[in-house]
């Protein structure tokens, strides 16, 4: 798949943060849908005219349209309110939209999908059912929780990220997503390096206030990320909080700066020139809170495109070498050789981790570079890939070595 031709459809697009980030990475957003006319208007104003207002529950209408567009990727964040810590946590109609997302992915059958949601969604009945559906459709799944502050966002916002690719093994992008993580979180001071007029008072402040979740801390210093943005983030401290502040506040809340809507928008990853149009102020706050931070989307998009182009391979998982040593007494040199051959095979396969052994073998044999290697080298690479596959299977069932594992390793020794 050419990096410049990742034809992508976004579902539940909201104001456009996910599309913006993926566009920056190099995805081509060909269609977007949301049920809110206000969100569609903002998206159209800032991202593009390819967005439409639609009720995605109407699968019989939307599904054929998506399929006809033949996308390489379908992405989106189904409504999270039924899972959110700020909500009632009762799975209802909005939670069922996770199943709608999975159904539409299965109908369009893109090579890739990206789904994002709050971390609690990973434990939901809706996601459990959706995951089964996607796995049966042939998708290998990477499922992880990422903290946006380590991916270019000045906000400690945690999101469930699910990435699927046809024919892969589960966890195929875990190591690449981890490698894309920065060493330190992005802070509000980082965001203020190129101060805008709106930021003068904030830059001179010692700290800022954001309305906390329940009994959480309300005051942060500029050298921290902001907490996860919610609709009421920029509200002033209420009398109850002023009288009973959090013991961890660095200064009294009354002395802390109050964020503007423009600053909260940038904390959520929108650029300073983002146009909200004539949208009512409260609805803008809600759209900002619901949005997916564009820098995090860009980082995820770059990881996907790098793998799609075959420029990255998964890291060997941590206990593979220990498994070879403990069960079969392999020397350090033998373990090192197997790992080297495994990585060579994965590079030849352009980072693919096929769910089916036969598909992996066929892809390897069809690689011209592989066919040009000496016979013994080809055999060594095949064996290393087979051994690793056996370890992956056995690591899920920690029992005595299987007959198949013993047979593979006896062939290596021979």
Q: Which helix (H) or strand (E) holds 105?
A: helix 93-108
- Whether 194 has a pLDDT exceeding 80, the answer reads no
> What local confidence, expressed as pLDDT, does residue 62 receive?
96
- Whether 405 has a pLDDT exceeding 90, the answer reads no
Tell me how far apart the terminal alpha carbons of the chain are, to the nearest angstrom.
40
Please state the pTM of the whole predicted model. Answer: 0.92
pLDDT tens column, 165-183:
999 999 999 999 999 999 9
Cβ atoms of 299 and 161 within 8 Å: the answer is no
Looking at domain 3-185+292-308, its CATH class is alpha beta
Tell me the pLDDT of the chain averaged across its residues.
Answer: 91
> What local confidence, expressed as pLDDT, does residue 407 receive?
53
> What local confidence, expressed as pLDDT, does residue 4 receive?
57
Concerning whether 80 is annotated as a catalytic residue, the answer is: yes
> What local confidence, expressed as pLDDT, does residue 91 receive?
52
- Whether 86 has a pLDDT exceeding 60, the answer reads no
Sequence ranges of the domains in the chain:
3-185+292-308, 188-272, 320-413
Cβ atoms of 242 and 218 within 8 Å: the answer is no
Q: Which of 53-62, 199-208, 372-381 has the lowest mean pLDDT?
A: 199-208
- Whether 112 has a pLDDT exceeding 50, the answer reads yes
Parallel, antiparallel or unpaired: strands 7-11 and 73-76: parallel
Q: What is the mean predicted confidence (pLDDT) over 195-215?
A: 85
Q: What is the mean predicted confidence (pLDDT) over 116-128?
A: 93
> What local confidence, expressed as pLDDT, does residue 150 receive?
98
Q: Which listed residue (80, 106, 281, 367) is catalytic?
A: 80
Distance CA 381, CA 377 (A): 6
The DSSP line for 178-239 is HHTS-SS---HHHHTTT--GGGHHHHT-SEEE-PPSTTS--EEETTSPBPPP-TTTTPPPPH
| Residue 89 confidence class, pLDDT cut points 50, 70, 90 | low
Q: What is the mean predicted confidence (pLDDT) over 392-413?
A: 58
- Whether 82 has a pLDDT exceeding 80, the answer reads no
């Amino acid at each position: 798949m050419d990096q410049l031709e990742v034809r992508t459809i976004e579902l539940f697009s909201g104001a456009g943060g996910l599309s913006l980030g993926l566009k920056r990475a190099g995805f081509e957003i060909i269609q977007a849908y949301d049920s809110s006319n206000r969100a569609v208007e903002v998206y159209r104003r800032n991202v593009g005219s390819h967005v439409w207002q639609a009720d995605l529950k109407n699968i019989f209408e939307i599904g054929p349209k998506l399929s006809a567009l033949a996308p390489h990727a379908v992405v989106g964040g189904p409504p999270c309110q039924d899972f959110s810590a700020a909500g009632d946590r009762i799975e209802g109609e909005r939670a069922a939209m996770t199943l709608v997302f999975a159904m539409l992915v299965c109908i369009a059958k893109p090579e890739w999908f990206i789904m994002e949601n709050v971390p609690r969604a990973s434990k939901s009945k809706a996601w459990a059912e959706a995951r089964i559906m996607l796995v049966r459709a042939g998708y290998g799944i990477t499922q992880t929780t990422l903290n946006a502050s380590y991916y270019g966002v000045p906000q400690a916002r945690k999101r469930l990220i699910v990435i699927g690719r046809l024919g892969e093994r589960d966890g195929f992008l875990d190591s690449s997503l981890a490698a894309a993580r920065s060493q330190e979180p992005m802070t509000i001071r980082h965001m203020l390096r190129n101060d805008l007029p709106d930021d003068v008072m904030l830059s001179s402040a010692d700290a800022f206030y954001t309305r906390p979740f329940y009994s959480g801390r309300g005051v942060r210093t500029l050298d921290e990320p902001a907490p996860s943005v919610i609709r009421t983030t920029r509200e002033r401290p209420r009398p109850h909080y002023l009288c009973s502040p959090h013991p961890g506040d660095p200064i009294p809340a009354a002395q802390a700066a109050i964020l503007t809507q423009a600053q909260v928008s940038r904390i959520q990853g929108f650029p300073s020139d983002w146009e909200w149009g004539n949208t009512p102020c409260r609805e803008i706050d809600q759209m900002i809170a619901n949005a997916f931070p564009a820098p995090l989307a860009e980082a995820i998009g770059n990881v996907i495109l790098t793998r799609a182009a075959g420029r990255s391979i998964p890291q060997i998982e941590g206990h593979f070498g220990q498994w070879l040593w403990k069960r079969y007494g392999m020397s350090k040199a033998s373990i090192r050789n197997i790992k080297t051959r495994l990585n060579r095979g994965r590079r030849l396969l352009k980072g693919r981790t096929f769910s089916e052994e036969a598909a992996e073998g066929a892809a390897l044999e069809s690689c011209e570079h592989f066919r040009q290697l000496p016979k013994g080298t080809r055999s060594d690479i095949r064996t290393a890939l087979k051994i690793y596959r056996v370890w992956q299977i056995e690591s899920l069932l920690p029992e005595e070595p299987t007959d198949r594992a013993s047979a593979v390793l006896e062939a290596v020794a021979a």
